Amino acid sequence: MDSYLSHIGQFSVTDHLVALLVMTGLLILGWQKQQRMYAAVPEQKPRLYFAGFAYKVAFSYLFALVYFFYYGGGDTIAYFSNGLIMQRLLIDNPAGFLRLFLAPSISWEDYFTYFNSYTGYPEMSLSTKANNHMVVKASTLLNIAGLNNFFATSMVFGAIAYQFVWKFYRTFCSIAPGREKILGFVFLFFPSFVFWSSGIMKDTICVAAIAELVYVFYHGLIRRERKLRSLFSALVCTYLLFVVKPYLLLALVPGFLFWGPFTWLRSLKSPLLRFLFFPFIILVSGAGIYLFFKQGLESSSLGSTDDALRYASVVQQDLIRSDQYGDNFIDIGAFDPTISGVLSKVPIAVSVGLFMPFLWQARNPVMLMSGLENTFLLLMTLYFLFRTRIYGIFAYTFSNPVLLFCITFSLTTAFIVGLTTANFGALVRYKIPLLPFFISYFIILIDTMQKKKEEQAEPDSGNEDQLRSFKNAEKRIVARNAF
C-alpha cells in the first residue's frame, strides 16, 4: 500500500481540514444546483435534492472514516492509493501511464516495467483484475477533484454518484406520482443503500450505472423522449457494469425484456389482440433472456453455464471453510453444479439475498443497521403476501410491467448474491442495488391495488347513480300525477 496511508490512524489535522474544505465546496455546489433546479420548475415538490445531496456527502465522509479508523484499511483505501500511484506514473512516464490507463488490467510485467521507488508500487491483488482496475482509473481522475485526499475523494465519488441516483429517484416519481416523499426515503435516505454506495468502491460505480440505465430505458424507450444522448449513456453504463459486476447486468436485462414488451402489450386497446400477443411476448422475452445469459457467460471469464455453476458451487463452499470469517458466514448447504442442483437452492438463496443478516446475527454496528432494515423488509413482504395471497400478488405483478421489472431484478440479484456469498460483510454490500427496486415494488403495488379497487367500484357507483336517477324520476311522476 502507498506510504500516504501506510500508518493507519495517523492522518494529520491538515488532511481533515482539506476534507472539510472540499465538503464545504461540494455543499455550496449542491445548494446552487437546487436553486437553479427549482427556479426552472418552481412547482416541483418535495424539494429533496439538497437534503439528499448533503446526506450523501456526509455518508461518504462517514464511509471513509469507518474504513480508515474502524476497519483499519480495506479495498477502498487500496483503490485510492493505487490512484495516487497512477498519478505519479503520469509525471514519471506519460506514455506508460496512458498504456496502463487504457489497459483492462495491470500485469506483473507492467508492474516491474513501469513502477519504481518514485511512483510507488500498486496493490497487485487489485490491479490484476479488470473490475478493480476500473475503480482505480476512476480514482486516478477523481483524486484531482479531491485534492489527493482520501476523505475528500470519497465525498467526490459520493457526490457524483448522487447525480445519477437523483435521476433514478425522479424516474420512479414519474412512474408513481404522489409517492415522492416515501420514494425519497427509499432512494435518497435509506441508510445502508446510501452508506454502501458512497465511497471509492465498485458498488458506487455500479449503483450509478444501474440508475442511469433505468433512467435512459424509461425516458428513451418507454416515453421516447431522448435518443442519441441516451444511447451513448446506455452504452457507457452497460460497459461499466459488464466490466465491474457483470452479474448485475445479467439481472437487469431480463427485467428490461419484460418491461418494454409488456408496456407495448398494455398499449393495445383490443383485449383480443392482448390475448393473442401475450404468449408471443412471453416466448420472445424468455428466448431473449436465455440468449443473453448464454452469450453473457460465454463472453465472461466463466466460459459456459456449466463452468459458471461449478464456479458458484466451489466458491461458496471454499468461503465457508475459510477460518477468517469465524461465525460471520452463511451456509446454504452444498449443491451439485447442475441446473437442478442450483434450482433446489432458489428459495434459501433468495431468502438470504433479501433478508439476511437477521438482527440476532449482527456482530457490529454496520450489521445491526442492516439487520434492522432486513427486519422491516421481511415484515413488509409477509404483510403483502398475507394481504393479497400468492395468487393476488402474481396477478397484480403481471398487470403492471414496472412491477414485473422491479421484482425480476430484485429476485434475480438476491438469488445470485445469496447463492455465491458466504459472509455477512460481503452480503450487505452486494445486495444494495436491489434495495430500491424491492421496496419500490411494494410502493407501486399499493398504487396498483388501489387503482384496481377504484376500477371495480366504478360500475357499482354507476349503477347507484342510475338507480338514484330512476327513483327521482319516479318521484317527479308521482308528484305530477298528484296535481
What's the pLDDT tens digit per position in 310-343?
555 555 555 555 454 455 667 777 666 667 777 7
pLDDT of residue 220: 85
Asked if residues 186 and 168 have their Cβ atoms less than 8 Å apart, the reply is no
Buried b (16+ CB within 10 A) or exposed e, 102-135: eeebbeeebeeebbeeebbebbbebbbbebbbbb
pLDDT band at residue 164 using 50, 70 and 90 as cut-offs: very high
* Residues 203 and 161: beta-carbon distance below 8 Å: no
Q: What is the mean pLDDT of the chain?
A: 82
Q: Which three cell numbers stand for residue 343?
A: 434450482
Mean per-residue pLDDT, 349-366: 87
Q: Closest by alpha carbon to 57, among 162, 146, 135, 201? A: 162
More confident residue, 277 or 187: 187
Express each pLDDT in 243-285 by its tens digit: 999 889 988 988 888 887 777 777 666 666 666 666 666 676 6
Q: Say yes or no to pLDDT of 9 above 70.
A: no
Counting Cβ atoms within 10 Å, is residue 400 exposed (0-12), middle (13-18) or buried (19+)?
Answer: buried
Spatial distance between the Cα atoms of 290 and 149, rounded to a whole number of angstroms:
45
Q: Using CA of residue 60, residue 433, residue 431, residue 400, what is the dihedral sign? A: positive
Q: pTM for the full model?
A: 0.86
63-72, 150-159, 216-225, 449-458: segment of lowest average pLDDT: 449-458
Does position 15 have pLDDT exceeding 50, yes or no?
yes
Nearest to 106 by CA among 72, 76, 140, 153: 140
- In tens, the pLDDT along 78-136 reads 999 999 999 999 999 999 999 999 999 999 999 999 999 999 999 888 888 999 999 99
